[in-house]
Amino acid sequence: MRSGTGDTVRGPEEAGAVSHDPEESGAVGRGPSGGEPGFIELDGVEKVFHVRRKAGRLRRVREEVRAVDGISFRVPRGAMVGYIGPNGAGKSTTVKMLTGILVPSGGRLRVAGIDPARERTRLARRVGVVFGQRTTLWWDLPLRDSYELVRRMYRIPEAAYRRNLERCVELLDLEKLLPVPVRQLSLGQRMRGDIAAALLHDPEVLYLDEPTIGLDVISKAKVRGFLREVNAERGTTVLLTTHDLTDIEQLCRRVMVIDHGRLVYDGGLDGLHAVGRSERTLVVDLERELPPIEGVPGARTVKVEGPRQWLAFPAAQSAAPVVSAVAERYPLVDLSVREPDIEDVISRMYADNTAP
Amino acid sequence: MWALRSRLVEGLRAYGLIVAMWTRSTLAYRTSFLLTALGNFAATGLDFLAIMLMFTHITALGGFSLPEVAFLYGTSGVALGLADLVLGSMDRLGTRVRDGTMDVLLVRPVPVFAQVAADRFALRRLGRILQAAVVLGWSLSRLEVDWTPGKVLLVPLMLLCGAVIFGAVFTIGAAFQFVAQDAAEVQNSFTYGGTTMLQYPPTVFAKDLVRGVTFVVPLAFVNWLPALRLLGRDDPLGLPGWVDFLGPAVAAAMCGLAWLAWRAGLRNYRSTGS
């Protein structure tokens, strides 16, 4: 049972971004005429895998897995969009189809007017990809040599190359790393190196698959700041898949949520919190064991463990009034704020979605 | 047609770029390179040492003299060495598929085949070629053959066709790894294993095996069949004489097969992602 492409998508004003426009885009591919300019366009895109599963001692059954199950969206040129969802939701599969690595089983997909599956190498000159889990650099080569090879492979003009490299080296703090073989870099250094490599050829669109996974706070901040700048100055379209809601909060005005291969939300981050009823948690350490904290507007105490207490409050709300309300009336020693868990937000949203 | 040609040119260019990069990075550590090349030379040389030891006790092996066996050894060694140098890194493809780095190759604007073939290009493999070439040179100086222009031409031709046939086997093996990621050993048994077999005269092997490497995996065309012609011997299968000259045709056919296998493998990968 599959419903239409757009009707399960929830989102406030952006609901119109999901269109079923069947008309073919022009040869130049600036998007359907008259409609919203879609730099990235997906119409009912599907990816079905066939897996063999053991059933009994010798028998094996072929099973269909719908990794991406009818996804439609448009991303205009220059946008920075978060693409989030739990593990196995179909995020990476979508990115792989957008780059032409995987051939879709159905639907229509265009990036800059190009069908990625058919013209993978032509598209490759115009996109940059960063896979958080694996490097696109040459493991045994020094960073500088890797970049030099990228330059030749992409036929980057000397002047543009030098300009882009200098910029990346400066903003991502790569100077000292250039002579170091990639295998000797730490995860955060490697990620910065990878992002630079993906931008040397001035791509029009940048896909980032978990770019901050496993990074320390400083590296994360550096990467985010850089991406913001690239998007703002270059007008590079950015599609970001992530587990980290903070990435989205700091970078993207629009977020798409995918679960079980379907788009379940497309809109602003605030709307996501509202839809998912997500909550942040304030963890406070008091001077001594006290009864559960009461009377803090907008917050409720969800857990008490000795002098430590947990207060939940809506994610869209600022933490400051909650903190000051607690500090005013209780002997506060220490505190921390925990961001809502994306998995929780989505699972709640999904539960709502499938409910009658 | 034009598109195919431009892809070929693109592929060769990319191959050249990557190979140049690896060569430069290898030569940055010159001592290390010389030692590994020397090691490669010595390790492959041990095979021939074994043959020479054998000949201290016998005068002929399967009816072949030492220079004749050396000729087989040299031709198969050079042919495999060339294929190994150019395409030897392809057996890492299974690993790439398993750890997901295959995707990285697919997002670059150059043919995947060129990237896989040139990956970690190992110049030390010159050691094997050099060693086999030395043995071949020695055998050529000792062989009692009436050298006609045709026979002289046959030697480089068989080396080239042999290298192409081995290269096709490397490619088909790699393509198979798109489906079965642990198939590298199967491929190795045909390439590295195959060359060990080709070092010995076909007369010492069972006929079924000789049939197998003639008709199934046509390694016999690397050196056995043309060498038998050159040395004026009858082949143990009693095939008609013109079969000896089929080397180029077999090599071309193997290339076609390899191309199809590679395409099918890549297509399968792009539809299943694993």
Distance from CA of A192 to the nearest CA of B (A): 16
Give the span between the Cα atoms of B18 and A195, in whole angstroms. Answer: 21
- The parts of chain B modelled with pLDDT lower than 70 are 1, 273-274
Cα of B14 to nearest chain A Cα, Å: 7
**Residue B112 belongs to a domain:** yes
Q: Which residues contact A186 (CB under 8 A, 6 or more apart)?
A: none
Q: How much is the average pLDDT of A41-63?
A: 83
CA-nearest of A189, A236, A184, A181 to A208 is A236
Alpha helices, DSSP H, located in chain B: 2-27, 30-54, 66-87, 93-99, 102-106, 112-118, 126-142, 149-176, 184-198, 207-211, 224-231, 247-272
Question: Do residues B54 and B201 make contact, with C-beta atoms less than 8 angstroms apart?
Answer: no
Helix, strand, coil in percent for chain A, rounding step 5: 35, 30, 40
| Selected residue of B89, B107, B266 to mutate for chain A interface (largest A Cβ count, 10 A) | B107
Q: Say how many C-beta atoms besides its own lie within 10 A of residue B114's C-beta.
A: 23
Q: Residue A28's pLDDT is what? A: 38
Position B273 in a domain: no
Residue of B nearest to A50 (CA): B272
Average pLDDT for A179-199: 91
Write the CA distances from A37 to A73, A261, A263, B8, B62, integer angstroms: 11, 24, 20, 36, 76
Helix (H, G, I), strand (E, B) or coil at A339: coil
Cβ contact A101:B270 at 8 Å: yes
| Contact flag A96-B14 (C-beta cutoff 8 Å) | no
pLDDT at A355 over 70: no
Question: Burial, B196: exposed, middle or buried (Cβ in 10 Å; 0-12, 13-18, 19+)?
Answer: middle
Which residue has better confidence, B235 or A286?
A: A286
In a domain, B3, yes or no: no
Q: How large is the average pLDDT for residues A197-225?
A: 89
Beta-strand relationship, A308-314 and A300-305:
antiparallel
Asked if A101's CB is within 8 angstroms of B107's CB, the reply is: yes
Answer yes or no: do A101 and B109 touch at CB < 8 A: no
B3 CB neighbours in chain A (<8 A) are: none
Q: Which residue has the tokens 């559960």?
A: A292
Q: Quote the CA–CA distance of B192 and B54 in Å, as a whole number.
A: 21
Q: Which domain holds residue B189?
A: 10-268
Establish if B43 belongs to a structural domain. Answer: yes
Mutation for B interface: A68, A121, A145, most B CBs within 10 A: A121
Report CB contact under 8 Å: A100, B106: yes
Asked if B270 has any chain A CB less than 8 Å from its own CB, the reply is: yes
Mean pLDDT of A249-277: 84
Least confident of A25-34, A269-278, B83-92, B238-247: A25-34
CB contact under 8 A, B103 and A133: no
Confidence band for A30, pLDDT divided at 50, 70 and 90: very low
CA distance A87 to A71: 17
Are the Cβ atoms of A131 and B100 closer than 8 angstroms? yes
Task: Give the A-side interface with B, CB within 8 Å.
Answer: 49-50, 93, 96, 99-103, 105, 117, 120-122, 124-125, 127, 129, 131, 133-136, 138, 140-142, 145, 148-149, 152-154
Q: pLDDT per residue over A133-157, tens digit each?
A: 788 888 888 899 999 999 999 999 9
Contacts of A111 in chain B (CB under 8 A): none
* Closest CA of chain B from A35, distance in Å: 29
Q: Tell me how close the Cα of B114 comes to any Cα of chain A, in angstroms.
A: 12
Please state, in angstroms and rounded to a whole number, the distance separating the CA atoms of residues B189 and B219.
12
Q: Which helix (H) or strand (E) holds A192?
A: helix A187-199
Band the pLDDT of A129: cuts 50, 70, 90: very high
- Per the CB < 8 Å rule, is B100 touching A134? yes
Distance to chain B for A52, nearest Cα, Å: 12
B30-54 vs B2-27: helix crossing angle, rounded to 10:
100
Q: What is the pLDDT of residue B134?
A: 95
Q: Does B263 touch chain A (CB under 8 A)?
A: no
Domain assignment of residue B199, yes or no: yes
The residue in chain B having the minimum alpha-carbon distance to the alpha carbon of residue A125 is: B109
Q: What is the bridge-based pairing of β-strands A279-286 and A262-267? A: unpaired
Give me the residues of B, 6-35, that contact A with CB < 8 A. Answer: 10, 14, 17-18, 21, 24-25
Amino acid B253: pLDDT: 95
ipTM: 0.81
How does the average pLDDT of chain A come out, rounded? 83
Please check the confidence at residue A89 and state whether its pLDDT lies above 60: yes
Secondary structure of A274-332 in HEC code, one letter for each residue: HHHCCEEEEEEEECCCCCCCCCCCCCEEEEEECCEEEEEEECCCCCHHHHHHHHHHCCE
Query: Does any domain span residue B193?
Result: yes
Domain-located, residue B274 = no
- The CA distance from B78 to B85, in Å, is 10
Q: How many domains does chain B have?
A: 1
Residue A159: predicted pLDDT = 95
Between chains, do B106 and A49 touch, taking CB under 8 Å as contact? no
Please give the Cα distance from A219 to A189 (Å, whole number).
Answer: 8
pLDDT of residue A354: 54
The string of pLDDT tens digits covering residues B93-123 is 988 888 888 999 999 999 999 999 998 898 8
Alpha carbon of B127: minimum distance to chain A alpha carbons (Å): 22
Q: B272, A49: Cβ pair inside 8 Å?
A: yes
pLDDT digit string, tens, across residues A301-320: 988 998 999 998 887 788 88
Q: What is the rounded CA–CA span in Å between residue A24 and residue A22? A: 6
Phi, psi of B138 (to 5 degrees): -65, -45
Q: How many Å apart are CA A42 and CA A50, to the nearest integer?
A: 22
Query: In this complex, which of A93, A99, A103 lies closest to B107 when CB atoms are compared?
Result: A99
Buried b (16+ CB within 10 A) or exposed e, B161-179: bbbbbbbbbbbbbbbbbbe
